[in-house]
Structure 1
């Protein structure tokens, strides 16, 4: 029994790409299957809307903006455009692609949070928040690291990303450390706001039992629900984000406003197309979320509970992908096990449809996918080139050379039955998110076509019985037409070319499954055929493997150097004269001083140490020294201190000070020439 078409509104979404870095093929594991699914639904005649957008809030955005010495606004502008361009380059087209920083999303987030407050699902509570005394700031999420209280593995502030994968609430992390300066953090009390997630325990258990989608999403979420749910802190200490209603010092947690983006993007689509977003998010509809396996917890627990509490429609289906490996190694950008979509794939001339095919057919959608350049080559060459491409080109070339048009001839019932059974198996698999099974089923029709062509020996028939030969070729073109319809969701750009090659003037992207069995029109002119899929040569794969291995080697060398430095710092308490002589300690003069914005402990100093221009140095002396009073003072500076960024301000050196009930600046006993070395 098929699930589509349905008269209910259908909305398909993808987990939002984070606008703080480049697109890699791990991102495409979600977006390409979702695009394939949407295209397949349209072939049922289903009216479906496809939305997505950039996730632009949370600590990683602020963290990366500070690291790149830019603003969050500029950072998200850059990467939002990057992802929009990449998706279009990969033939992934959304009906709306917005950002969570859009005013629509701010307004919708406020409306939902206020509704939750009105319905009694949000309350305030004083809790302990990680705080860094050195940076003088509270440390939400990515600004703090430590040990997971559940499994003792290394974790970040909001998630045990290295161990059990559990979401972590503020204050839960053990042995907290500031990720900005590396010093130990402490806990301070502060008022925050909580969502009464615990009250949705029974609702979620029943909801998950009836949730459509992949079993890995249902089972993972059900496991956490059965263990019992705690209330969820939904505010953070950040200036960047959606302000919590009535509080200028708090923003809503990114996992509140990010999924609300699905609603606000639908609103933007509706406004642009004279449609109603309420018919999807307020009435009976089918909302399908395609997500990565690492965000199941948020989409199957937090999100439906929040929607239920605010009286919105909950998702009908959640489709979670398996994780990604690169060359059979765990995906890791820092270790070099990554393939960037633009620089490693598109810029090397690979057609986007080839990667779409590989990612959709390598393995089941819920299983771990391994990307390997040799595997990629073998799959494309053996399947798209050797099976599909071979049948399509040989059939069209024979027709072009011997007829110049689609010849007359009755289409055999066995051929039509085979096409129809392929469509049935294909559509059933697609509706169950079994993309590999669906495409393998379609590919079997190409194998059938090759066998049909070979067994009927048209090269012999053309000499003996041209009419019978024409009938055989007409049947081959009928099979080719069905293949184009079935493969269009997977390799859409290539099938647009193939559709024209069989003499079709209509839009292949608007074709329906029923078109596959609609008889081809005889005497339709056929243009000279072109090869659809070209073999990937060994030399190209060797080139790509070298790029990958060089990247891994470079990352390993960097990691080794870092480890050596850390080991040396940990193991050596005493230093010898050679070590001391490496320190470039000089006398300088403070020529300017001012407080660092957002910090009551740090001063930004400009120190003249005898160079062409003063050095910028950040010093933690604001509580003991007024900026105006220290201008003109000579101080001692460690000039070759490794550059650092404190509260977003670059520091190139260290002003030396002692500690005696506050910072005590070290000074020469008398005025000396600026730049005088100490040693």
Structure 2
């Protein structure tokens, strides 16, 4: 335990959609971490809030015929209530559109301006002549200038994943009226991010948290660090100081929300927010891996420039699959937190356990109803619940209460070893390892009670039976305290069965090995119920129905695509190519630089297939490529053509027999 105040935050949920288990992959581990630190006696503040600004909310509000504020309040309440149902309890849950955040954001921007870190520049920006407005972020889509893939105005979400500044996107089209946009000039403001390259490299070396966040950020800083446009042309948002026609970019005011939410909590509790943000406290951010760039590069540079303290740790979760498929709301591969889970009566503890125990926090998590059923039935019911119930039942019903015999030294040692390993795992953000340690102690208890068989011993050696149950009760007590961060509801029920009247949240982990005294055991009840096959079948049917409906919707959408004439098809020069070599592009996880023989010459192509193919395995392969695309510079590498692939897993199109490179496809 340290005397340093700790602040833990979660990435802010965006208020234009419903909560799904992809969100919970971040929030449940953060809540678990906070609960454990508090059981260990740490001073921890846990804050979060909703992200209310940006073009997607404006677009969604326009489509719904409401205001951005009203839409934000609706989803703010939805997320707050869903988190509470899942046992994710924040000390404060604010809104970035609250006055506190507007004022704090403008204060920080003014400080950056005064310190010379913000400058104005006239830039080219997409403008829709039909809507008669500039097109920021999600109001425009087109082609990524780096990889050539379809992209949103602020991010290449279909290709290389790079952040896009206003005016960078190629072939811009208005997302509202589908009019081809034109380029016009407008004044915007930039943060001198490029000046912080050396600072960020030093800062990232000492950053705690998960290695995926650290390494990803270092790769970006080492390769490219450009100044950052921090304004947008919108009416909705925090007004930029000195220019009321612009608002602050959402990725500036959203993280500043962490500070303003701390302020709001401090005002309500007569405390000082500066304890956490001006050097004294330790700040830990829990985020999804898709926003590492913002939290490990933009955010610490901005804080440092403004004279605030910087985060001590960034904890980034791995991606999510659903039933072995890439998470996708449009394709139906999604599990909604309320509709699919809480509203059908499934316990929050079960889902918390699955999310925490399935795999390492930084690795890809696959959710399936079958795996969920197996973990609930085999681990929670058969191992953990069975041991707790048998122990308390036997002590209360057969022995009349807690034996006067203290727990044996061997059992106390086993508990202390488990507690130390679990504490170390939690503090290293290894949640699966922590849960494994707790369940290991439960398994030990199960074996111990089975081996000693007190129901037999009491017939021949009553004292030995009491001693065995005393040992088992001590293990149950330790399990309840260690499990509270993972299974808060079940732990609280177990604590009450042990006879404690004060909430388990008021008790310290030091009590794991202190005797049960001054309490009276209550009637034992099963803490967990099996997920029966009939219930599993209903859950699986609902999921499959959603996937099928999404598939049909996509098929109908594809049927509506315009027909292509032979003349239009003939304009594409499709040829067979032979891969001569392939190599990764430094700083990118998706891109390969590939040399392709197309008969008359060798072409260099950049392709986003690195997640699916090892470079050496591609050498010698025959592929299909378009050779008459306009050259594009992708991640600083020229690409002259495109290799064709199908599906989300990039299955390469290949001829079914040997054929000469350069052969034209007709």
Q: CA deviation at 1:413?
A: 1.0
> Which among 532, 553, 559 is matched to residue 554 of structure 2?
559
Q: Is the 8 A contact 2:319 2:365 kept in 1?
A: yes
Pair member with larger Rg? 1
Distance 2:520 2:200 in 1: 59
Task: Answer with 104-113 or 464-473: which moved more.
Answer: 464-473
Say yes or no: does 1:196 pair with 2:192: yes
Q: CA deviation at 1:365?
A: 0.3
Distance 1:459 1:299 in 2: 57
Say yes or no: does 1:145 pair with 2:141: yes
Question: What SS is found at the alignment partner of 2:187?
Answer: strand
Q: CA deviation at 1:525?
A: 2.4
Which residue does the alignment assign to 1:14? 10
Q: CA deviation at 1:573?
A: 11
Q: CA deviation at 1:519?
A: 1.4
Distance 1:228 1:140 in 2: 23
Q: Is the 8 A contact 1:145 1:176 kept in 2?
A: yes
Q: Is the 8 A contact 2:213 2:316 kept in 1?
A: yes
Deviation string 1:239-281 (CA, Å, 9 cap, x unpaired) is 0000000111100000000000000000000000000001111
Question: What SS is found at the alignment partner of 1:404?
Answer: coil
> Which among 365, 387, 398 is matched to residue 394 of structure 2?
398
Q: CA deviation at 1:507?
A: 1.7
Q: Is the 8 A contact 1:474 1:520 kept in 2?
A: no
Say yes or no: does 1:317 pair with 2:313: yes
Q: CA deviation at 1:376?
A: 0.5
Say yes or no: does 1:451 pair with 2:447: yes
Say yes or no: does 1:205 pair with 2:208: no
Distance 1:148 1:8 in 2: 45
Say yes or no: does 1:85 pair with 2:73: no
Distance 2:172 2:406 in 1: 76
Distance 2:508 2:159 in 1: 46
Say yes or no: does 1:46 pair with 2:38: no
Q: Is the 8 A contact 1:404 1:527 kept in 2?
A: no
Q: 1:573 to 1:55 in 2, by over 3 A?
A: farther
| TM-score where L is the length of structure 1 | 0.83
Structure 1: gaps spanning 5 or more residues: 575-679
Say yes or no: does 1:461 pair with 2:465: no
Q: Is the 8 A contact 1:12 1:288 kept in 2?
A: yes
> Which among 508, 524, 541 is matched to residue 536 of structure 2?
541
Question: What SS is found at the alignment partner of 2:243?
Answer: coil
Which aligned pairs between 1:569-584 and structure 2 lie closer than 5 A? 570=564
Which residue does the alignment assign to 2:655? none
Deviation string 1:165-222 (CA, Å, 9 cap, x unpaired) is 1111111111111111122212111100000000110100000000000000000000
Distance 1:376 1:185 in 2: 48
Say yes or no: does 1:513 pair with 2:512: no
Distance 1:460 1:491 in 2: 32
Which aligned pairs between 1:341-356 and structure 2 lie closer than 5 A? 341-356=337-352
Which residue does the alignment assign to 1:529? 524
Which aligned pairs between 1:243-254 and structure 2 lie closer than 5 A? 243-254=239-250
Structure 2: gaps spanning 5 or more residues: 569-666
Say yes or no: does 1:182 pair with 2:194: no
Distance 1:545 1:89 in 2: 23
Distance 1:33 1:272 in 2: 26
Question: What SS is found at the alignment partner of 1:51?
Answer: strand
Which residue does the alignment assign to 2:385? 389
CA RMSD between the two structures: 1.3
Which residue does the alignment assign to 1:656? none
Which residue does the alignment assign to 1:98? 94
Question: What SS is found at the alignment partner of 2:46?
Answer: strand
Distance 1:501 1:573 in 2: 78
Which residue does the alignment assign to 1:115? 111
> Which among 375, 378, 400 is matched to residue 379 of structure 1?
375
Say yes or no: does 1:336 pair with 2:332: yes
Distance 1:101 1:263 in 2: 13
Which residue does the alignment assign to 2:363? 367
Say yes or no: does 1:238 pair with 2:245: no
Question: What SS is found at the alignment partner of 2:15?
Answer: coil
Deviation string 1:614-654 (CA, Å, 9 cap, x unpaired) is xxxxxxxxxxxxxxxxxxxxxxxxxxxxxxxxxxxxxxxxx
Question: What SS is found at the alignment partner of 1:250?
Answer: strand
Deviation string 1:595-618 (CA, Å, 9 cap, x unpaired) is xxxxxxxxxxxxxxxxxxxxxxxx
Q: CA deviation at 1:567?
A: 3.6
Question: What SS is found at the alignment partner of 2:476?
Answer: helix
Q: 1:572 to 1:563 in 2, by over 3 A?
A: farther
> Which among 423, 437, 442 is matched to residue 433 of structure 2?
437
| TM-score where L is the length of structure 2 | 0.84
Distance 2:234 2:214 in 1: 33
Q: Is the 8 A contact 2:406 2:515 kept in 1?
A: no
Q: CA deviation at 1:284?
A: 2.4
Which residue does the alignment assign to 1:605? none
Distance 1:422 1:34 in 2: 21
Distance 2:566 2:183 in 1: 30
Distance 1:192 1:479 in 2: 63
